[in-house]
Amino acid sequence: MQKNFNIEQINPIVIDLLHDRGYRSEKEIAEFLSMRPQKTYDPFLLLNMAEGVDLVLSAVENEERICIYGDYDADGVTSTSILLEFLSNMTSNLSYYIPSRFDEGYGLNKAAMKKISESGAALVITVDCGSVSREEVDYGKSLGLQILVTDHHRADEERLPNCPVINPNQPDCNYPFKGLAGCGVAFKLAQAVARTIGMDSHTYNDTLDLVAVGTIADVMPLVDENRTLVKYGLMKVNSASRKQLKTLVEEIGLKLGEVSAFNVAFGIAPHINAVGRIKSAGLGVKLFRSDSEDEISEIVRIVKDCNIQRKNLQNEIYERCIEIIKKDYKKDGKIPNFILIELDNAHEGVTGIVAGRLKEKFHRPVAILTKTEDELYKGTSRSIDGLDIHLLLSHFSDLFKSFGGHKAACGFTIAEKNILYLRQGIDKYMSEELSKNPELLTRKWNWDLSLAPEDITIDFADSLSLFEPCGRGNERPKFSVEGIISNLKSMGNEGQYRRFQLMSENSTSFVPCVCFGIEQGSVDELSEGARVRAIGSIALNRWNGNVSTQMNVNKIFSLD
């Protein structure tokens, strides 16, 4: 907590916004605003942590090889790198395994278990996966492997593997915070091991930059313990203490010292994810483990190339999906309650991103199914707020060959013959949900507070930075501002975006506004002199040494 924290020095609007978000006491507000937050929990509150620590220490003491088994997304890459870095303080007998997104899919598999066993490993520690791999764990144990699962995905008692599992979202785990990413759970394991044998805290705290990247990349809630981990982690990112991350940050055009959660979510994370989508996620781990300047530069070059390829593939598949949706909903004139698209020939590495974009565009849950060589379809799904996609799909788990995920996103594998049954089941489920909640698929435009243009000063905009790091669960405050459009201009390569000044009714003050990525119809209807309500976030715009306020508009309503 800040030493001389004085709540009276904080803009009263900020205090009101924090009250609305449930931060009532001065102690809670001080913790939220502090640059040195303290909210964290004893790692041994995680179920099976003591048993997991014993397995790690036993392997180290007996000089046995430890293999870290990760996932191919940014959370998996950072989780793997965290444990490799931490354990290297204790042993050099380490290896890692990242399955191929395309050939092996998510989670443990028997071929990988066999390969790891033959490599001489004695202990396998999973990160960001393993909670539903009962059969694969049993097979690994039959080969003589000891296995410790660390994960954060939802886990049911019937599917939990027969080995120690450290996962805040498993049954009977009373850990106070359920929102840790896979990298957060890996960090807590490192913390528990270090505390048990009296290692210096820097051995695990030095990995907080990777914890921040993985947590933000996996769109975990930036509240509670995650807020603490990510705040400290972003400080480390901006300190440039990790040369691999420093090189990546600089090469993708970000400015060290100013890297925010937004920059991680839309800059760093997509680049790390792109490697697993286009080539092999193992390159991401190799990047964070490399000490060679030349190798780091070469891997970063590959990472950037992968991200360019990812964008091109993503846009191509997105357009294909849009055409399919148009054909489907032209039949009855409305968008289906659940968008389920089958693609026979698509790069499965980007379908998750496309599903997310379609969800945002149509405000519908989306699943994209990609045909594989063995006549199966790999499905990836994304959901809207208020609809638990994991719960929905779990009703049809008997149709899947494999299945797992979160409330907001799931993956599964399904035989072609079962797709029709899945469609029918989903249609029935959605009809029942809509009968209970008719507004489920209605996009809600909420805002925290209504302001006038004259309220939006540089000091006020600056005070909103106290909400950082912002993301899921701690979104940037949204404001409603009414005014008259003035000085309307187009921008963007195709003139698809707009900027304007929103003038007060008496024309004595205005707030500069920009519109990116809102409905084209809303943008096209803008006109000089129109009276509107704009909804969006407010920030400082720094350009060429000048500082001004700016409203990033998400939605506009005509008031004429």
pLDDT tens for residues 90-108?
999 999 999 998 888 888 9
> Does residue 160 lie within any of the structural domains?
yes
Same domain (yes/no): 382, 522: no
Asked if the structure places residue 379 within a domain, the reply is yes
Per-residue model confidence (pLDDT) at position 486: 93
Say whether both 183 and 226 belong to one domain. yes
Q: Identify the pLDDT of residue 346.
A: 86
195 in the same domain as 62: yes
Residue 534: CB partners within 8 Å, gap ≥ 6?
480, 481, 482, 483, 502, 513, 551, 553, 555, 556
Task: Name the 3-class secondary structure at 463.
Answer: helix
- Secondary structure of residue 450 in the 3-state scheme: strand
Nearest to 350 by CA among 91, 76, 72: 72
Does 152 score more than 60 pLDDT? yes
pLDDT (average), residues 284-295:
97
pLDDT average, residue stretch 388-408: 92
Q: Two tokens at 309?
A: 């390829």
Contact 131, 161 (CB under 8 A): yes
Do residues 17 and 47 share a domain?
no
pLDDT of residue 1: 36
CA dist 79 and 82 (Å) reads 5
- Domain edge (last residue) among 403, 436, 469: 436
- Residue 259 and residue 234 in contact, taking contact as beta carbons nearer than 8 Å: yes
pLDDT of 284 > 50? The answer is yes
The HSE-up count of residue 257 (CA atoms within 13 Å, CB side) is 1
Burial class (CB in 10 A: 0-12, 13-18, 19+), 529: exposed
Same domain (yes/no): 386, 408? yes
Residue whose entry in the numeric block shows the structure tokens 């000044």 = 501
**Does residue 490 sit in the same domain as residue 425?**
no
At residue 82, the 3 state secondary structure works out as helix
Per-residue pLDDT at 518 exceeds 70: no
pLDDT digits (tens, 9 = 90+) for 425-451: 999 999 999 999 999 999 888 999 999
52: pLDDT confidence band, cut at 50, 70 and 90? very high
Question: How high is the mean pLDDT of the chain?
Answer: 93
In a domain, 547, yes or no: yes
Per-residue confidence (pLDDT) for residue 158, from 0 to 100: 85
Q: How far apart are CA 130 and CA 109, in angstroms?
A: 10
What backbone torsions phi and psi does residue 331 show, to the nearest 5 degrees? -65, -45
- Across the range 390-407, mean pLDDT stands at 92
Q: Which residues contact residue 240 at a Cβ distance below 8 angstroms, ignoring those fewer than 6 apart? A: 246, 249, 256
Q: In the structure, what pLDDT confidence band is assigned to residue 549 with cuts at 50, 70 and 90?
A: very high
45 Cβ contact list (under 8 Å, min separation 6): 174, 175, 176
Distance CA 68, CA 288 (A): 14
What's the pLDDT at 7? 76
Q: In percent, how much of the chain has pLDDT > 70?
A: 97
Same domain for 54 and 194, yes or no, is yes
Compute the average pLDDT of residues 329-339: 80
Do 72 and 201 reside in the same domain of the chain?
yes
> Which residues, 6+ apart, have CB-to-CB distance to 310 below 8 Å?
270, 273, 274, 277, 278, 349, 350, 353
Choose the final residue of a domain: 235, 266, 299: 235
Decide: 513 and 551 in contact? Cβ < 8 Å: yes
pLDDT of residue 3: 44
Residue 212 has pLDDT above 80, yes or no: yes
Question: According to the model, what pLDDT value does residue 525 have?
Answer: 62
Question: Bigger pLDDT: 158 or 517?
Answer: 158
For position 373, what pLDDT does the model report?
73
Answer yes or no: do 392 and 480 share one domain.
no
Q: Which of 209, 235, 261 is the last residue of a domain?
A: 235
Kindly state whether residue 11 falls inside one of the protein's structural domains: yes
| Containing structural domain, residue 399 | 335-436
- Mean pLDDT in residue range 141-147: 98
- CATH number, domain of 554, equals 2.40.50.140
pLDDT at position 149, please? 99
Query: What's the sign of the alpha-carbon dihedral 310, 311, 312, 316?
Result: positive
In Å, how far are 91, 230, 261, 474, 512 from 221, measured between CA atoms? 34, 10, 12, 7, 30
Percent of the chain with pLDDT over 90: 82
Instruction: Out of 14-23, 42-51, 541-550, pick the least confident.
Output: 541-550
Q: Are 142 and 182 members of one domain? A: yes
Which amino acid is present at 253? G
**Is 170 within 8 Å of 150 (Cβ atoms)?**
no
| Residues 59, 207 within the same domain | yes
Measured N-to-C along each axis, helices 282-289 and 243-251 cross at an angle, to the nearest 10 degrees, of 120
Say if residue 525 is in the same domain as residue 383: no
Confidence of residue 2 (pLDDT cuts 50, 70, 90): very low
- 356 pLDDT tier (thresholds 50, 70, 90): very high
The number of domains in the chain is 4
